[in-house]
Amino acid sequence: MRTDFPFPLLLRVALVLIMGLSAVGASAQQAASPTAEPTSLSEYRIGAGDVLKISVYQNPDLSLEARVSDTGLLSFPLIGSVRVGGLTTVQAERAIADGLRNGSFVRQPQVNVLVVQVRGNQASVLGQVNRPGRFPLEVAELRLTDLLAMAGGTSPVGSDTVTVVGIRNGQAFRREVDLPALFRSDKRDDDVSIADGDVVYVDRAPMIYIYGEVQRPGTLRLERGMSVLQALAAGGGLTLRGTEKGIQLHRRGPDGKVEIVQPLMDDRLREGDVIFVRESLF
């Protein structure tokens, strides 16, 4: 009796067996790998005003949802006030479990603490951003760029320089961060770590003004290194009646007085400069 099979069928069977063995080997390697399931390097620390949901295994009467007081205390049944402010959820679970065990209320308590509302650790973003407001610091280390992303980024008229103010080690803290330079640098320290109570302010970008015989007179954002020629281009260029001859630049000096000069096209502009394009006489 012939026992040979068609070659295509044998090939398909062999491929199935090889793929199955490869999948099993990959699964075993992934399970054995210590980095298959990444763990968090830092945990959120409970702050005043946070709302916690606490449950004790096989003790439903001890389930509780409460807000942490301004002093970092939490009132828990049987054991009274427990200081949880500044603790991670694991540390808070241990503190509550120790209180229940030491008071002989529960022999082997298994406590679970969940932060359901973050109200204690917050930072504010103000000024020229798309979504100003207060934002919770739900991770132990939140960077300035992360917070700006939560605020929707800077608005089209927002400055490239951002100011961060707060408290560090009991002392007033202030840092001005140049965002374009931050992204061009490899230094991680330039991306400020945000702390509870910090305020991030994005000022309005520097402006210049252009009027007269240009297509789009009005206010323009002053870009870094912007020249007179670039400003004229941003204003849509000259009208048919405009002339490059006799362009006037009004600039306020250090003494507060306004000076009128005739700039060159390559001259760099400053914040508050006013460009006037005159009408051609011919």
What strand order describes the sheet that includes 218-221?
218-221, 207-212, 274-277, 248-252, 258-261
* H or E stretch covering 218: strand 218-221
Model confidence at 275: pLDDT above 80: yes
Fold of the 207-277 domain: Outer membrane lipoprotein wza fold like (3.10.560)
Model confidence at 22: pLDDT above 50: no
Which pairing describes strands 207-212 and 199-204: parallel, antiparallel, or unpaired? unpaired
pTM above threshold 0.75: no
Fold of the 51-117 domain: wza like fold (3.30.1950)
Q: pLDDT tens for residues 108-151?
A: 999 999 988 887 788 999 999 999 999 988 776 889 999 999 99
When mean pLDDT is compared across 26-35, 159-168, 191-200, the lowest value belongs to 26-35
Distance separating alpha carbons of residues 215 and 240, to the nearest angstrom: 9
User: Token pair of 5, please?
Assistant: 């099979």
Model confidence at 191: pLDDT above 50: yes
Q: Where in the chain is the domain with CATH 3.10.560.10?
A: 122-204, 207-277
**How sure is the predictor about 18, in pLDDT bands with cuts at 50, 70 and 90?**
very low
Q: What is the CATH number of domain 122-204?
A: 3.10.560.10
Distance separating alpha carbons of residues 193 and 112, to the nearest angstrom: 29
